Structure formats: C-alpha cells, structure tokens
Chains A and B, each alone.
Chain A
Amino acid sequence: MNTSHTDRSAIRALFESALDIEPGERNEWLAFHCPDPADRAEVERLLLADSSRPGHVVDQTFDRVLDAVGEASSGAPPAGTRVGAFTLHEQLGEGGSSIVFRASREQDGVKQYVALKLLRRNLYTDDERRRFRDERRALSQLQHPGIARLIEGGLTEAGSPYIALDLIEGESIVEHARSRTLDLPQRLRLFVDVCRAVEAAHRALIVHRDLKPSNVMVTPSGEVKLLDFGIAKLLDTADADGTQTHHAPMTPAYAAPEQFLRGQITTATDVYSLGVLLGELITGHRHEQGDSRTPSAQVDDTAAAQAQMANARAMRRQLRGDLDNIVLKATAEEPERRYASAGAFADDIERHLLGEPVIAHPPSQLYRARKFVGRHRGGVITTTLFVLALFALLGLTLWQAHAARQEALRANTVRDFVVGLFDTARAHMPRDQRPTPEALVEQAQRNLAQPTKLDAVTQADLLRTLGEVSLSLSNFSQAESLFGQAQILAQTAGDEDASRNAQVLRADAMQRAGHAAEAVAALNPVLVELGATPSVTLLRAYAVMAAAEMDLGKPDAAIAHRRDEVRIARNVYGADSTDALAAAFEIGSALVEANRFPEAITTLAPLLVKWHDLHAPEDDRYVDALSNLAIANDGVGDLAAGEARFRELLALKKRIYTPPHDAIARSMQDLAAILQREERYPEAETLLNEALAMQRQVFGEDHREIAVTYDTLGGLMDRQRRFPEANANYLAAIGVCERTHIKQEVCTRARNNLGMSFYRQGRLDEAKHEMSQALAERRALFGNDDPTIAYSLSTLSNVAVKQNDFELATRLCAEALDILHRNGRDATREAALTRNSYAQALFKAGRNDEALREIDQSLTDWQRVEPEGKARHVMMLVLKAQILTNLNRPADVKAAVEQAIALKAQPSDLPAATRQLLRTLSGDSTLYPDPGPETPTHR
C-alpha cells in the first residue's frame, strides 16, 4: 500500500468500472484505461480482493472477532476450585469460548483424571438448559474407540456449563505425522481412521462442526482420538431449530462455506473440514483462505522431506491426480458436491491406496459454471458476469456433447442448468441489480446462431429451453422465434417428436401473444400427427388449442378441448395428480370466460378442495383457479367477499411473479372491476392505470388484455359521466381489436359501450350506428340466441325510444326478453334492465297498462339482483310514476315518488332528465338541483 500520492478516487472509479467488465477482459480494459502501471497494479489488487471468498476477518461478524480476541483478563477460576464432583488442577488451554483444565475426582478409591472444559456461555433459559442436557445425553452415548468419551457434564453453581472428557495424552495428527516422519501411505491410513470415527458419530447423528488438527489427536501408541465431538453444537444455544449457527465457535481455516454463510450444518460440513485437514496432513501446510491451488501445487521440499520423499517434484507426482481430486471433492463449496459421507471419503482414499480408480474427478465445466454463479450471488452480479455464466453454459454443452452422447442425460442437464441459472437470477438478486433475462436469452440465441460444434438435437433442445424461459417471462415474440428455430433444427435432425413439441410450443407463444388464429393453424397439422396417443406434447397441444378457441370466441369447442386435456393429463400424470387437477382447473376457467358461472363454481370448488387435500402448493395454477372461482362468485352476487378474495390474490401474485407481469395486471383488473361496482372510482382508476402500464410493458400496445383494460377504464369514466374520456378509452379498445383482428366479446362490448356512451350524451345517430354494428358482430360471433344479443337489442331500444320510434323499441325489447327467457335468464340484471327498457317503450307508445305490468316486474327483479343499485332503482320508480300519472292514479304516483326520494341516490348518478322529472312529480323544485351545464361532478 504505497498509493498515498495517487488519486484514490480515480483508483476507485477504475475499480468500479472494471467490475462491470468480464473478468477475462479486465486486463485489456485496464491496460487501455489505466496506463499507469502502479495504479493498474492497485486496481488489480482491489479486484482480486473483491473476488476473494468470504472468510476474511472483514467478512466475519464483529462479535465473533471480539469473542475470539477474548477479554483481556482471563478470569479463570484458580486451581483447587470444585466444579461438580471434580477438582480443578492446572489450566491446559484457553480460547474465546472455553477454558480447559486438568481435573480429577475420586471414584471408588481411584483417582480419575479428566480434561474439564468450562464453557464461556451461560445458559439462561430453561429451554437452553434442557437442550444442553439432551445434547449431553446423546454425546455420552457416543462410544467409539476413535472418539474421546464425554464422561460427564453439568452446570457450575454460577450456571455456566462444563463438560468432562477423556484426558488424552498425545499430539495432534499433523504434529504426529511430522514428528514421526510418516510417509504418505501411513498418513493416509491414519486419516482413514479419522474418517471412520467421524462416520460413527455421523451415524449417531452427531456432527462435529469444528474438526481441526487440535481436535484430532494421535496417542503415543498411534491410535486416533477425536476430541470435542458435538461440543460446538452444545455451545450453540441459538441453535433451537438446527439452522442457526452464528454463535457456534468454529475455526475459520477449517470451516465450510455454509458455516460462514449461516447455512444448514450437516455431516457434509464435517466432510469439508476433513478435506482441509487431509490437505494439511499430506502437504504439511494449512490451506489458506482464497488459495485455490491444489494440494500438489502447495508441496515444497520441506514437506516432501517430512513425508520421506526425495523432493517436492517427486511428491507432487504422487499427489497430482487422485489425491488432488479427492481433496477438491471434499472441499467443494456446495455441500452436495462433496463426499456423501465421511465413510465414502474414507472409501475413496482406500481405493487410492489400493491403486483402484477413485470417484473424485476433476471439476466439470458444469461444476465450474455453477460455482461461478454461486460466487456471484448476493447482489454483486452484473449483466456482464451473468452473460459470462451463460457462455459457460454453452461451453458445458459443447463439452457434454463431446464427452457423452447419452440423450436423456444431456437433455436434462442442459435444461436443469439453464432453468437453475435463471432461477438464481430471479430469486436471489436485488431487483435493481438483476440482469434482464431477455437480454441473456437474446445473447444465448445469438451464440447458438454462430457455427458451433453442437449437434442439431442439442441446439434444438437448448433453443426450446430458452424459449420456455422467454415464455415464462411473457416475452412472446422472442419465445416464438426461439421455438421456430428449435422446430426447424429438430426437423433437420430427423427428430420428429422434438419437432412437434417445438411446434406446439410455438403455437403456445402465438396464442399468448394474441395471435389465436395463427396458433390454431399451427396446431391443426400437429394434432393430426399426434393422433390419440397420450403424451405431454398432446396435452400441451390441447391446452393451447383450447386457449386459442376461447380467444376466437368458440367457448364450446374450447371447453371440449379442455376436457380432452384433462383426460390426457389423468392418463399421463395419474388421476389424482396435481397436474391433472391443474388441467381440470382450466375447464373452470373456460366456463368463467364463457360466463357460465354456476357451472364454473360447481366445477372449481371441489377441485380446489381436492388441491388442498393433496397439500399441493399455492402456486400460480392454484391462484388462477381461485381467481376464477372468485370471478364466478362475483358473477352471481357477493361483492365484499369478492373484493377480499381479489385483494388476497393480487398479493399472492405479487409474491409469485416479478412485475411487470401479465398475471399481476390481470389481478389488478379483476380487483378494479369489483371496486368500480362498489363505486370506489378513484381506487379503481389508479389500479387500472397501473395495470395498463404493466400490460404495455409486457405486451406492447396491441393485445386482448389491453383492450379489456381500455374497455374497463371506459366504463369507469362513463359511470362518472366523464364522457370524452370514456369514448377515448372505448375507441382505444376497438382500435386494439381492429389492429390485432381478434374477435372477442371484449371487442363487441367496447363498441356497444361506446354506443351507450353516445346515447347518454344524446348523440343518438352515432349511438345507433355503434350499437347496430356491435349487434351484427355479436350475431356473427355468438349466434342469434346469445344473451349478449339481448343486451344489444335492449340498448338499441333505448335509442329507438329517444328517436320516438316506439314501435321498433317495443319489438326490440320483446325479442331481447325472449332470448333471455330461452337462456334461463329471466331473473337477472340484464333481464331487469331490458324489462325496464321495454316498459319505457310501451309507456312512450301509450300502452300504459302493459307498461305498468313490465315496470313492476322489473322493479321486483332489480331489487333482488341489485339491492344497492339505487340510481337505477330511482329511475325505474320515476318511470313507474309517469305511467301511473298517465293512468290517472295520483295516490300511487305520490307513493312511487316518495319511495324514489327515500332511496337517497347520489344526485350525480342520476341523469338530468330523471332529476327534472322528480322535481316535477314531487312538486318540490329544490329537489336534486342541477349542478350546472356540462359540469362533470367528479374530478
């Protein structure tokens, strides 16, 4: 550190910029940007330090360092102090966590000497004391010739725990090997004994946690004795659930990464420490942190001489290969890459001693790539680094294709790796530092387009996997392009199954991107080829087909395909599998989309119960099913319950998906729709705008979901009589439909709503034009008997009334009511509204008796289906009063008017004409004063 004259801020800036450069290119980058060699060396030192493994004093917690240093005064009890049945003699050692004494007790006239360890950790609670007792009991049952016995343990009067252990005479295994100049095979055989003792403890479910030379003793007669087994855990009072380890003493040089990172401590933790110990035993050097050299590379002549070898080179030859690999395997950073047990570790060494092939092999590229990703977890990753990891993946594929041509193995490793890679990025990184996966996928695609040594099947597999990642990220065009490439490659390679699979996935991407007709066209030939043989591809094909048909306004065909899908899913996954259930959820979803709510409820409710009974996860499939059930429930009534459920769903989705995501946006829309119906307009508007922004990010401007949001926003404005904004939103929805050529309920609904908005503004010709067009579209889409036709007819009749064409109006209403009747929808909201229109038309046509009969019926129905719909209720009562006036029944007129006033509807919700009529009919000119011409009341 002699940089006091250089500008540190410039060094820091260079350091931080270099972090964004791929490590392999940093030297070149630095040479260009930092010509001064001294500065450059300094930046390089910083970069090296930055990439060093956690374990440095800087990475430890302050508490631990402070503990390790200990208190300046030892505070040790003097010799002669009684601890339990023991008398303390001289102090044998002291550390941050304990003091060790030689101690003795008289038993049956025999003086027994022990090593008594006084722990510096007080046990405060009953729970801590109980755990100490349990642990002690387990340890006292651990009997193995290679393990120092725990003789007794207890609490001093002051409440601090102590344990008495066999007093072992001897020296540490490393000193033993050095002082006796053991040769390599002797050292290895000794180490095998150590592993066997550790294995015995592991079988008794006791992990040492602090294996190091001073705990691995060898007696003068050459027997291995392990000290302090399980003591670390005894000390670790914060360890109630077996996962927290940060108070446990451990020795950094021998500690496994999970001990620094506070991960789960398992037997693999001991395997790691054993690996470090083996390295030290065979090289004579303790492994230094951050030193990535293999044991053979650390050997010098001194070490060689101690192991009775001629020189370092001879010794290196002996270590290189098997022993290097064995130590590397034992000290792998990921516990699952180490030996499965201390026994397996010992077995491998014995194989080496016998000259047999060992299990340990050089770290694979997969391993290296994983390590790379693992090291860069926790917020330091940059896009560049991540792309590098992806390159590593491609390198891996090359290597694998070269090394092993086993199909299944390759396919699975590649896919698992890619998915694992992205999971890593998505789950663990702070949001602002995550690379965009889209960018990574693009990069991978570009690399695959380069000439590679990969065979076509592998490339196709990789492209398909990348496509699935894109799909899960809602990047549909990227997915479509990837699947398309995969399909062509698979076909070229003659792999028909893979080709069909890719084609189905491509159709999936099209459908989700809103290109339903193209998806169907892509699927039809595949379905013919697939026949009826159950397969995962066929399953997906049915699912995509059903979704596309739904988009194309063919709910019946969609539901039929959903049923096919469920049949195949039961066949492929089993009748009671979550996958089969999830497929059945889709039937419910299709029913909801077709507005067949009661059927949807009877389908979904039992499925959701079953899902729970299977203890299946509350994942996105569950969320969607629940959400559909909520919509169905909402469709038949109960707003408050609906709102609560939708809020819950939104929260769940925000946990499952990373925004922006179409699933979150859809949940926002659902919630907004219910808020609107609860007349909480500002909340609904905020939510819808948020949803719209998110959808634009996900889909671009043109997508069915966006049309739905525009239409909903239009309705929201309409309700608040913000007509220009309402019209603009409806037109935006229609625009989306026209540009994407989708023909769906939302498109006709938006057009009809536009017509209604014109109607409310008194722009009757425009209203009639839009409504007629909506009606024609609906007839084309849904046939002449669909309930939506009835709604169109009813709205058209309103216009006809305004245009004084009463005859037409009554005819339209009668036809609408007939359709509703045929659909079993006599007692619905639509029916009540249509009947209201019918009464209006009859009244205008002078057919007062018929009008009175219809308005009474519609009032009854309305109060049943919309008890809170006050404005409409008032309007109906006003109409009734008008009819009664014509029929010359003043008392009944008065009653109807009083009833209307008593409802206390928001004046702003009432049309001006209704307010005027109320004033006239009641004779009270102060009632419901007009707020002034064209002044929107909200906003």
Chain B
Amino acid sequence: MSSPSSSDESGSAADSISPTFEAVYDRLKELAHRQLSGGARGTLDTTALVHELYLRMEGSKGLAFERSAQFFAYAARAMRHLLMNRARDRLRQKAGGEWARVTFGTSDDAALTIASSEQALAMEEALGQLEASDARAERVFELRYFAGLSAEQIAELLGVTRRTADRDWRYARAFLISALT
C-alpha cells in the first residue's frame, strides 16, 4: 500500500474516523439494518453486504475511491466497527441488567453471546497492538476477516505476492491468538 491518502485510515477503528469512513460506515449500517429487518431477523451475510456496498459506492459520485483497495480497507474497518459497537452494547446491557433474564436451562446461547462480545472486544485491542507493530499483517487480517476477501484478492489489492499475504495472515493469527490467551 502506497496510497498517498492512506493516512486517513490509520488509527484504531473507534477513534480518528475520517469523513469518508463515516460515509461508508453509515451506508453499511443502513444496509445491514435493512437486511436484518427485512420481514424477520435474518442472518447477516457480511460478504454480500460488502460487495453490495461496493457496487453502490462505485456508482455514486459522492465518494471517489482511488483504488478498490481503499474501499475494501474502509469496508473492513466499518465491519470491525459494527462488531465492536454491537459487542459494547451487549456488555453494557449485561452490566445494566437489561439482558433478558435467562431461565431456560443455562442458556449457552446467552453465554455464547457474552463470551463472543468479550472476545470481540479483546480482539479489537489486540488488533490495535498488531497494527502498531506490523501494519501490513494487520491489514491482511482485517481484509480477510472483516471484509471476507480471499488471500488472492488481498495479495492483488495490496500488491504483494500470495505467499506474503499468506505469511502475514499466519503471523497475524498467531499474534492475535497469543494476545488473546
């Protein structure tokens, strides 16, 4: 990545949000909301979401992306943001006792929800550490995990070899797991 405007994207997902990022994020939330409230509660298909957003953003004049790399970086960041917000809300609900009283068995569903929220926030923190020490590995992880891109696509987007992308992924995975355990 040598995009001159890449400084827009630095900083952790929660802070230092550029106007461009906000625009992407708002659209994404809107799309996600529509997908989830379409009649009933569906499972969110994030990859489809990202691609739908990409098509829309490409068509509109409001946002000009120098490269699709930048778009996917934004989209991944937005997905990450979405997860963090949900996880924070969840834990806030739990702390405030808003969480539906669980009387049905031990409800592993509920436990899973809490555990996943906690893990998601822990991952967020670990991603910040990874970014500080190895920005490219962090970006490879983000594109693959949050935007659902394949290793080939990532390699192409970042202008690195497939092997490099694979190595970055492996390192990022080890880094995160080691940070989270």
Contact = CB atoms under 8 A, between A and B. Distances in A.
Contacts of B148: 62
Interface stretch (A210-218, A342-350, A929-937): A210-218
A93 interface: yes
A251 B43 contact: no
B150 interface: no
A678 B11 CA distance: 64
Contact of B41 (A66, A120, A175): A120
Q: Is the interface of A mostly helix, strand, loop or mixed?
A: mixed
B105 A122 contact: no
Interface stretch (B53-61, B66-74, B166-174): B166-174
Contacts of A65: 83, 116, 119-120
A31 interface: no
Interface string B91-133: 0010000001111111111101100110110010010010011
B3 interface: no
Contacts of B177: 49-50, 52, 56, 58
Given A57-B123, A69-B113, A122-B41, A213 B86 contact: no
A8 B133 contact: yes
A242 interface: no
Contacts of B117: 69
A16 B180 CA distance: 20
Given A93-B102, A95-B107, A67 B119 contact: no
Contacts of B108: 95, 212-215, 251
B146 interface: yes
Contacts of B178: 1, 45-46, 48-49
A67 B43 contact: yes
Nearest to B46: A63
A358 interface: no
Interface residues of B, number: 61
A76 B100 contact: yes
A79 B147 CA distance: 38
A380 interface: yes
B166 A379 contact: yes
Interface in B10-65: 36, 38-47
Interface string A41-85: 000011111101000111100110111111110111000000000
B140 interface: no
A50 B106 contact: no
Contact of B174 (A49, A156, A158, A214): A49
Given A16-B167, A63-B46, A94 B83 contact: no
A47 B167 CA distance: 13
Q: Is the interface of B mostly helix, strand, loop or mixed?
A: helix
Given A62-B46, A93-B100, A93-B110, A380 B170 contact: yes
Given A9-B134, A57-B116, A92 B103 contact: yes
A49 B82 CA distance: 27
A556 B92 CA distance: 88
A160 B41 contact: yes
Interface stretch (A96-104, A312-320, A390-398, A514-522): A96-104
A605 to B, nearest CB: 44
B109 to A, nearest CB: 2
B7 interface: no
Contacts of B145: 58, 62
B78 interface: no
B181 interface: yes
Contacts of B171: 12, 15-16, 46
Contacts of B134: 8-9, 12
Q: Which 7 A-B pairs have the closest CB atoms?
A: A95-B109, A8-B133, A72-B89, A92-B104, A93-B104, A160-B40, A49-B177
Nearest to A92: B104
8 contacts: A15-B171, A63-B45, A69-B113, A94-B100, A120-B41, A159-B40, A171-B105, A215-B105
Interface in A1-43: 1, 4, 8-9, 12, 15-16, 19
B10 to A, nearest CB: 17
A703 B103 CA distance: 78
B113 A46 contact: no
Nearest to B93: A72
Given A47-B174, A122-B41, A58 B109 contact: no
Given A62-B148, A100-B104, A69 B38 contact: no
B25 to A, nearest CB: 15
Most chain A C-beta atoms within 10 Å of own C-beta, residue among B146, B167, B174: B174
A172 interface: yes
Interface string A887-918: 00000000000000000000000000000000
Contacts of A380: 170
B154 interface: no
A91 interface: yes
Interface of B: 36, 38-47, 79, 82-83, 85-87, 89-90, 93, 100-110, 112-113, 116-117, 119-120, 123, 126, 129, 132-134, 137, 145-146, 148, 163, 166-167, 170-171, 173-181
Contacts of B116: 57, 65, 68-69, 96
A76 B101 CA distance: 13
Contacts of A171: 105
Nearest to B89: A72
A101 to B, nearest CB: 9
A115 interface: yes
A4 B41 CA distance: 43
Contacts of B42: 120-122
Contacts of B109: 93-98, 214, 249
A247 interface: yes
A47 B175 CA distance: 9
Contacts of B175: 46, 49
B39 A122 contact: yes
Given A69-B90, A69-B113, A214 B41 contact: no
Given A1-B179, A56-B177, A66 B83 contact: yes
A874 interface: no
Nearest to A8: B133
A227 interface: yes
A70 B181 CA distance: 24
Contacts of A432: 163
Contacts of A16: 167, 171
Most chain B C-beta atoms within 10 Å of own C-beta, residue among A71, A75, A91, A96: A71
B112 A96 contact: yes
A93 B83 contact: no
A75 B86 contact: no
B133 A74 contact: no
A290 B41 CA distance: 34
A95 B167 CA distance: 36
Contacts of A74: 100
A380 B87 CA distance: 32
A52 B112 CA distance: 21
Contacts of A1: 126, 129, 178-179
Given A69-B120, A251-B108, 9 more contacts: A19-B170, A46-B178, A68-B113, A69-B86, A69-B87, A94-B102, A120-B41, A122-B38, A158-B40
Contact of B173 (A50, A120, A156, A175): A50
Most chain A C-beta atoms within 10 Å of own C-beta, residue among B44, B104, B132: B104
A115 B104 contact: yes
B86 A70 contact: yes
A159 B176 contact: no
B107 A63 contact: no
Nearest to A47: B174
B41 A62 contact: no
A67 B83 contact: no
Given A8-B133, A15-B171, A63-B45, A120 B40 contact: yes
Most chain B C-beta atoms within 10 Å of own C-beta, residue among A9, A46, A68: A68
Contacts of B90: 69-70, 72
A443 B123 CA distance: 42
Contacts of B179: 1
Most chain B C-beta atoms within 10 Å of own C-beta, residue among A4, A45, A57: A57
B47 to A, nearest CB: 8
